[in-house]
Amino acid sequence: MNPKELKNRLDARKSGSDDFYLLDVRNPNEQEISTIDGTDLLIPVAELPGRIGELDSWKSSGKEIIVYCRSGARSANACGVLKSTGFSKVFNLEGGILLYSDEVDPSLAKY
């Protein structure tokens, strides 16, 4: 999923015409620097395998999960972890928060 698609989906979610989960897999110190408005949960990618149970309600909901990190590499890995544990509607934010900042919200701090 590209940043502009995510922005459109976030806008649609605010109006109630779309519903999905937005998962940040960066580290807490990165989230303190900047975060995409509408993020539902932070689970660092290294902790994801041990915390997958926290997402059981997400799996049973059938909603899509959009995953992001700083540049897209860790979130791509997280998507693989989620898919290997039975999640089927999982999407990676291309370019991560850096590209989102470039294309959608330049007010987000880059690091």
What whole-number distance in Å separates Cα of residue 103 and Cα of residue 36? Answer: 13
- Catalytic site positions: 69
Give dist(CA 91, CA 23) in Å, integer. 10
* C-alpha 100 chain-centroid distance: 12
Pick from 26, 21, 92: nearest CA to 54? 21
